[in-house]
Structure 1
Amino acid sequence: MYSAFEIRRALANPVRIGLECNRLYHRRGYRRAYNPSGVDVFAEDWDSLILLDACRYDLFERHSRLPGDLQSRTSRGSGTAEFLRGNVAGRDLRDTVYVTANPQLYRYREELNATFHDVIHVWMAEGWDEEYGTVLPETTTRYAREAAERYPEKRLFVHYLQPHYPFVGSETTFDKGHVEDPDGGEDVFWLRLTDGRLDVDRETVWDAYAKNLDLVLPYVESLLEEFEGRTVVTSDHGNLFDERVFPLPMRVWGHPKGIHVENLVKVPWLVHETGTRKEVAAAAPVSEGRTVGEDVVADRLEALGYV
């Protein structure tokens, strides 16, 4: 089940062992690929779905002034890949266009095997900001507007990266770039906070996280004003800030996959309606199947803490 590398890495950092024990519990020994208690977002009634990556419910509730009816939902994942496995894997979504700033669908494209009418990978060369190591919200918004104009008879799924780090709205440095981890591994920034190698107080990190949400909300509001029909604003998962998980009690930062505690899976579900509903129709995929080198994918994932 585990490779020799994974075993060596875990032994070198016991925090990984604790995370894996909790993951085994929540995933029932890996018999679950995702959180079955979560909402099936594509079975819900909407014309456009705007997703804010890694946005926990309580942060959104405190900071959002977006118009609409705010509810909550339980996500099918505590990480983006798990969210995608629970919602798009193997599905016929030819009535939907996915505009995404996150490389995870592309990374797991063969495993997920989802069929969208079109997928617009904003994170590829022209959409990626090299200075910040992310896709800026104004870029995602521009691509979303273009997709809405081009595909008026399709459901639109818009995936922003914010408030996921790097924290563009803050002058922090601890979340920017990549720090080599002698153990190797994923989500290095959050792992270094969890195991104590990075000493930054909770208030500082929370403030940076909140500013990243504040940065993206005006762009989301502009889309709510422009999109016709029923638009939902939600998230793929939440985020932990030195909070305890179970059953093995330990304090954790970030959004480790496969751990389904409340602040990782409780997400906002804001429903906004304006104008007339779309008349949605499925159609054959039009994507040109654009590809990029695996080195580009690895670079993007590393900047976002996935490698």
Structure 2
Amino acid sequence: MPTDDGRSHMNLGRIKKGLSNPRLVARFLREQGGNALLRWIFDDSGVRVLDQEWDTLVILDCGRYDIFAELEPSSGTLRKKRSAGSVTADFLKRNFSGRRAHDVVYLSANPQVANHREHLDVHKVIGMWHDDKREKQGQENRRGLTDPEPVVDRAIELHEEYPNKRHIVHLLPPHVPHIFKDGAELPTDSPYRNYEAARAGEVDASEMRDIYSENYEYVIDAIQPLIDEIDGKIVVTADHGELLGEGMPRWMKHLHNRWGNQWWKYDFGHYGDIDVPELVDVPWLELPVETRRETVSEPPVTDEYETESIRSQLEALGYR
């Protein structure tokens, strides 16, 4: 009959066997808490947006600092800041969890905001991931998921409706699905809409970087009417960055459980608690301001978004 010492010897034997086979070690670590270890290692001391001075915070989803700097508008002061997360969910949790922000109205085109609504103690959340006018075209229409123009229009309306609040305007571009390539709209079956073809080696990383930059520039131009119409201090930033072929250290790929042993897939996209500059370095563009907006905190009011479409829209954006 085995004793406790016997079981200890068997466990020690398994550990020795594992140490002699790095693949077994990687599999064990990944299955038994690789993501937890990455989370423990990740430096989440990035900027806390609620503590910064702004009246309107414009968030461009997946907006890398280095490429934004290449596309930077002529006005304003640009700084590089570190995000508290490398995915939207962590950005939301680390910036808003346990914080009261009843002077904030949060408009978002990203359904992750509703998916993590419990972390946001704000005055109101408005979601624009479901648009009846575009729904008739189908979920995979060319612009319906990421088009910034209706979001900008709604943001201007909300500034008029809530003039005494700070506003967060969370747009999706340059997040996939991409809208344009070489100035033309991409069809729904284009390999350039997302990173699947690039992960499979069918599209060159330099092409994807160019497309990402083009869609990044498009959303920067699209927010100009908002900048022109509203008052107060405006800051343009991002929740996190994007990998465009650079990937991450191999040991991070071993620990992360999104793609298992398909290491090459990690070279594109964004992943939780991955501490690399391409994912955590974000722009912080402070635009010139003449007068600040006077804001007040008031109890939360009813949100405006549909819950039925959250799951399908998350899937369409590659979250599930």
- Tell me the TM-score normalised to structure 2 length: 0.77
* Partner SS for 2:213: helix
Counterpart contact for 2:127–2:306, Cα < 8 Å: no
Tell me which residue corresponds to 2:59. Answer: 51
Tell me which residue corresponds to 1:40. Answer: 48
1:263 Cα offset (Å): 1.0
Residue 210, structure 1, aligned to residue 227, structure 2: no
Counterpart contact for 2:198–2:204, Cα < 8 Å: no
The CA deviation string for residues 64-87 of structure 1, in whole angstroms up to 9 with x for no partner, is 225200111000111111111111
Which structure 2 residues correspond to residues 198-277 of structure 1 after superposition, within 5 A? 198-246=201-249, 248=251, 252-277=267-292
- The structure-2 alpha-carbon separation of the partners of 1:153 and 1:232, relative to structure 1 and needing over 3 Å to count, comes to same
- The structure-2 alpha-carbon separation of the partners of 1:257 and 1:128, relative to structure 1 and needing over 3 Å to count, comes to farther
Q: Structure 1 residues 238-247 or 52-61, which shifts more?
A: 238-247
- The structure-2 alpha-carbon separation of the partners of 1:39 and 1:152, relative to structure 1 and needing over 3 Å to count, comes to same
Residue 169, structure 1, aligned to residue 169, structure 2: no
* Partner SS for 1:268: strand
* Paired AA for residue 174 in structure 1: P
Distance 1:88 1:75 in 2: 13
User: How many residues matched?
Assistant: 270
Distance 1:282 1:64 in 2: 33
* Structure 2: unaligned runs, 5 residues or longer: 1-22, 253-262
Residue 100, structure 1, aligned to residue 108, structure 2: yes
Which structure 2 residues correspond to residues 60-71 of structure 1 after superposition, within 5 A? 60-71=68-79
* Cα root mean square deviation, aligned: 2.5
The CA deviation string for residues 31-79 of structure 1, in whole angstroms up to 9 with x for no partner, is 47x7422110111111110010001011101112252001110001111
Residue 301, structure 1, aligned to residue 314, structure 2: yes
* Structure 1: unaligned runs, 5 residues or longer: 1-13, 177-188
Residue 90, structure 1, aligned to residue 98, structure 2: yes
Distance 1:289 1:37 in 2: 32
Give every structure 1 segment of 4 or more consecutive aligned residues whose post-TM-superposition deviation is greater than 6 Å. Answer: none
The CA deviation string for residues 222-272 of structure 1, in whole angstroms up to 9 with x for no partner, is 222222121100000111122142362776211112101111100000001
1:221 Cα offset (Å): 2.1
Residue 123 of structure 2 is aligned with which of 117, 120, 132?
117
Counterpart contact for 1:25–1:247, Cα < 8 Å: no
Counterpart contact for 2:242–2:279, Cα < 8 Å: yes
* Paired AA for residue 106 in structure 1: A
